[in-house]
Amino acid sequence: MQEHYQPSVSEPAAQQAWAEQGVFNAKEDASKPKFYCLSMFPYPSGKLHMGHVRNYTIGDVLSRFKRLNGFNVMQPMGWDAFGMPAENAALKNGTAPAKWTYENIAYMRGQLKSLGFGIDWQRELATCTPEYYRWEQLLFTKLFEKGVIYKKLGTVNWDPVDQTVLANEQVIDGRGWRSGAVVEKREIPMYYFKITDYAEALLDDLEGLDWPEQVKTMQRNWIGKSRGMTVRFAVAEDSRQGLPESHADYIQVYTTRPDTLMGATYLAVAAEHPLAAAAAQSHPELQAFIAECKAGSVAEADMATMEKKGLPTGRFVVNPLNGERLEVWVANYVLWGYGDGAVMAVPAHDERDFEFANKFGLPVKQVIELDEPQPYDPKNWHEWYGAKEGTRLINSGEFDGLDFQAAFNAIGAKLNALGAGEAKTQYRLRDWGISRQRYWGCPIPIIHCDACGDVPVPAEQLPVVLPEDVIPDGSGSPLTKMPEFYETACPKCGGHAKRETDTMDTFMESSWYQFRYMSPQDDSQMVEPAAAAYWQAADQYIGGIEHAILHLLYARFFTKLMHGEGIVPVREPFNRLLTQGMVLAQTFYRVREDGGKDWFNPADVDLTFDDKGRPAAAVLRADGQPVEIGGMEKMSKSKNNGVDPQAIIDTYGADTARLFMMFAAPPEQSLEWNDAAVEGAHRFLRRLWRTVYEFQKDGAASAFSGNHNELSGSLKDLRFKLHNTIAKVSDDYGRRQQFNTAVAAVMELLNQFDKTDFAGEYGRAVAQETLEAVLLLLWPIVPHISENLWAALREDSPLWQQRWPQSDPAALVQTEIEMMVQVNGKLRDKITVAADAPKDAVEAAALATAGAQKFMEGKAPKKIIVVPKRLVNIVV
């Protein structure tokens, strides 16, 4: 055994041994329980960042823990390889997205390997290969034929200068990111998934998942189920000119608050509403306003916060309950895509309506009062205006005095009877538009024929291969300029036809990769049935909270589709979810003359701390001049505070990086980068190495396996600590998933080990037992050093073949404990008593000691204080 810890030598050796033995290659094995541990696969952006290292270390810790516990573990890895960054890089460097992507994959694969993750590399996949996306195309054609995928017009951002469609993130302050031109809205045909048909199943099945409550809530809110009513307001006789037949008689609205109907003071419709168009015919100002609304952002977040704008139409409708005439306004806060694109505005009890009414001087009529009336306070708007609980109706005629639910029911029944409304459940979720006018994505397998329409590409003609030796020039998708790609024959009539040149949203590929890992090389089907039956779903999924909504929702949706097609036996893809926190680092900047900031990387800055350990001052190493400290922030390019994991691996080794990550914070919380803590982690590993080195120098030993109660005091104490640590660490890894406390417990155990006297009988055996257990307990987190040190302790078989240590029940009970005996607060003696000895027995034993006798000087005790399991203080 090497005397000194040298990770640069020992880590590659351990990795090589695992690879040669195929330790992490998973095979279906019905004799063992399976554990499928999945981490969100990376986008191959160039190199790993700290977030990746944290994510994959957590996955690896759980995988290795389960492995030692007898599970048949599968931990795969792959590449979410389509997407815009490759096209942007192509524009910048003139390389084909494919080449750039494959080079990045090669480099990042090497990085992952150097971190020693127990990955089954035989299952590696990249979503940009035809071997992968062909199955997505096949599924697409089947679902298209069934109508689960359909075509309709969708709105996109159009850059009139670059003549191209822009993704949302390419629109900056309403302008194209490259051209700077004001972006227009365009309607183009796109393909949509009917995810709304699955809204109820997506909600219901959340119940059975072992996911953070917060993530489930985010999913529920996104689906946004609300129970309300459709209410029809008759169009007043004098207001019907120019209205299409469908809207001539009444305007329908969707409301979750029919109880407030008597408080409606106007109606508001979206700019796209037919009534708006009819009213605008003789109203140029309204026409201009409608055009302005249509050009604006469609993001819902913006709708809520943007300045409220609107114009009256001069048209009126009638409140079905009381016959009141209400004017119809066109308002920019009403969405065309939600409900009926029209709202009954109740400014007294809805925040948006209130803001709008205030701005335009429209009436506000209160119809709800708190059971215990309170003066109106604008700061407590919601408590007062928006309240449902503890309220009753006022100014509502026959409905006065009813509480929310009673009023909802009574007004609902009345509207029913009048034929003016009915109950309706509404979802916020929209159908999923998957067409992208981009090059680097999976081609949509549809052929357009003038005679036959949209024809799905037949299975035997799949895959539709994306040409890879293409360098986009930024002016739209190159596929639209490649007749060799789009010119084709119609599969139905054989006539001249054109391929679809749009590609799919890259969320598609990441929606089903969890199943492809089960049989990644199968070239006859999407998922091999026996593999799907064995692996079922991921037992554990680990990834960033930023994917809490869309990715998880789409993957859940795809699982339901694949289940419906008989491809997988499960309805949910990820049984248990861990969302890891962000990795933060200190930020440093200087303010430029123009007021902007230059950000400096933590690696280029020297930071000093005050005596409380808080950052005090920082200087840029290059010029020795001070820089401002900007606080802890998520590592990002924009703040230039990313720390490159490769530098840590090169300096300290993979185990140090892994240990720091797991020790510095619980996995779901944010982790603050800290150089001193990295060094601390490294020191601990050096100490562990030295401890084992010193021990094994004296020759081989075998672990203690005798009767615990025959051991002498300090060995017994150590074993008590050891077996309690085993129990605690097992619980930390398995149930709690808190790895920082597991590490802390092992550190404490090692401290006690250092203080233990191993001289007597069984000494070496207990030491051997303890060190073996320490290495097993640490293997999930620091596998290289553990594997290496294990080999120094045991020549018979490597660590990866071992089983997780079990705590010895005999050692878990501390039968005897040692307590201090004090007289007037000064230590005078010690006693050894049964751990469960009653208080008076402990007092008697303390009084009887020689030390107590001597220092009490014959006086009677005034008071005896017993601190259980610690000390007895006799006051005289």
Residues at the binding site for ATP are 637
Pick the stretch among 292-300, 334-342, 600-608, 700-708 that binds ligand ANZ (CB under 6 A).
Answer: 334-342
Cβ–Cβ < 8 Å for 85, 441: no
- Order of strands, edge to edge, in the sheet holding 871-875? 826-834, 816-823, 871-875, 863-867
Q: Quick check: helix, strand or coil at residue 171? A: strand
Nearer to ligand ANZ, 365 or 597 (CB): 365
Q: Cα–Cα distance between 172 and 184 in angstroms, integer?
A: 13
Q: What's the closest the beta carbon of residue 220 comes to ligand ANZ, in angstroms?
A: 13
Please state at what angle helix 97-114 crosses helix 7-21, rounded to 10 degrees. 110
Of the candidates 28, 8, 21, the one whose C-alpha atom is nearest the C-alpha of residue 530 is 28
Residue 344 touching ligand ANZ (CB under 6 A): yes
Of the candidates 533, 524, 606, the one whose C-alpha atom is nearest the C-alpha of residue 566 is 533
Residue 346 touching ligand ANZ (CB under 6 A): yes
Cβ–Cβ < 8 Å for 833, 842: yes
The binder of ligand ANZ chosen from 159, 162, 350, 572 (CB under 6 A): 350
Q: Cα–Cα distance between 460 and 67 in angstroms, integer?
A: 42
Considering only residues 474 to 533 of the shown chain, the ones binding ligand ANZ according to CB under 6 A are none
Q: What's the closest the beta carbon of residue 81 comes to ligand ANZ, in angstroms?
A: 37
Residue 332 touching ligand ANZ (CB under 6 A): no
Report which secondary-structure segment, H or E, holds 330: strand 325-331
Cβ–Cβ < 8 Å for 280, 290: yes
Q: What's the closest the beta carbon of residue 452 comes to Zn ion, in angstroms?
A: 3
Nearer to Zn ion, 151 or 414 (CB): 151
Q: Which residues contact 304 (CB under 8 A, 6 or more apart)?
A: 333, 352
Residue 269 touching ligand ANZ (CB under 6 A): no
φ, ψ for residue 370 (rounded to 5)? -70, 150
Cβ–Cβ < 8 Å for 69, 117: no
Residue 589, CB-side half-sphere exposure with 13 Å CA sphere:
17
Residue 255 touching ligand ANZ (CB under 6 A): yes
Q: What's the closest the beta carbon of residue 278 comes to ligand ANZ, in angstroms?
A: 18
CA end-to-end span of the chain, whole Å? 58
| Token pair for 528 | 């091999």
Please report the beta strands in 358-410, taking only residues with DSSP state E, as ranges in sequence order: 368-370, 391-393
Q: What's the closest the beta carbon of residue 142 comes to Zn ion, in angstroms?
A: 20
Per-residue contact track with ligand ANZ, 440 to 459, x per CB under 6 A? --------------------
Pick the stretch among 169-177, 332-340, 487-495, 820-828 that binds ligand ANZ (CB under 6 A).
Answer: 332-340
Please report the beta strands in 49-120, taking only residues with DSSP state E, as ranges in sequence order: 72-74, 78-79
Considering only residues 688 to 707 of the shown chain, the ones binding Zn ion according to CB under 5 A are none
Residue 632 touching Zn ion (CB under 5 A): no
φ, ψ for residue 390 (rounded to 5)? 65, 35
Pick the stretch among 272-280, 460-468, 487-495, 780-788 that binds Zn ion (CB under 5 A).
Answer: 487-495
Residue 573 touching ligand ANZ (CB under 6 A): no
Question: Residue 655's binding partner, choosing from ligand ANZ, Zn ion, none, with beta-carbon cut-off 5 to 8 A by kind?
Answer: none
Residue 341 touching ligand ANZ (CB under 6 A): yes
Residue 782 touching ligand ANZ (CB under 6 A): no
Q: What's the closest the beta carbon of residue 173 comes to ligand ANZ, in angstroms?
A: 24
Cβ–Cβ < 8 Å for 423, 412: yes
Pick the stretch among 336-344, 589-597, 660-668, 800-808 that binds ligand ANZ (CB under 6 A).
Answer: 336-344
Residue 257 touching ligand ANZ (CB under 6 A): yes
Question: Residue 490's binding partner, choosing from Zn ion, ligand ANZ, none, with beta-carbon cut-off 5 to 8 A by kind?
Answer: Zn ion
The binder of Zn ion chosen from 420, 490, 765, 766 (CB under 5 A): 490
Report which secondary-structure segment, H or E, holds 464: none
Question: Residue 334's binding partner, choosing from ligand ANZ, Zn ion, none, with beta-carbon cut-off 5 to 8 A by kind?
Answer: ligand ANZ
Residue 275 touching ligand ANZ (CB under 6 A): no
Cβ–Cβ < 8 Å for 415, 231: yes
Nearer to ligand ANZ, 307 or 469 (CB): 307
Considering only residues 399 to 458 of the shown chain, the ones binding Zn ion according to CB under 5 A are 449, 451-452
Of the candidates 646, 645, 650, 808, the one whose C-alpha atom is nearest the C-alpha of residue 716 is 808
Q: Any idea what DSSP says for residue 576?
A: B
Q: What's the closest the beta carbon of residue 424 comes to ligand ANZ, in angstroms?
A: 10
Contact positions toward ligand ANZ, by CB under 6 A? 224, 226, 254-257, 260, 334-335, 338-339, 341, 343-344, 346, 349-350, 426, 428
Contact positions toward Zn ion, by CB under 5 A? 449, 451-452, 490, 492-493, 495
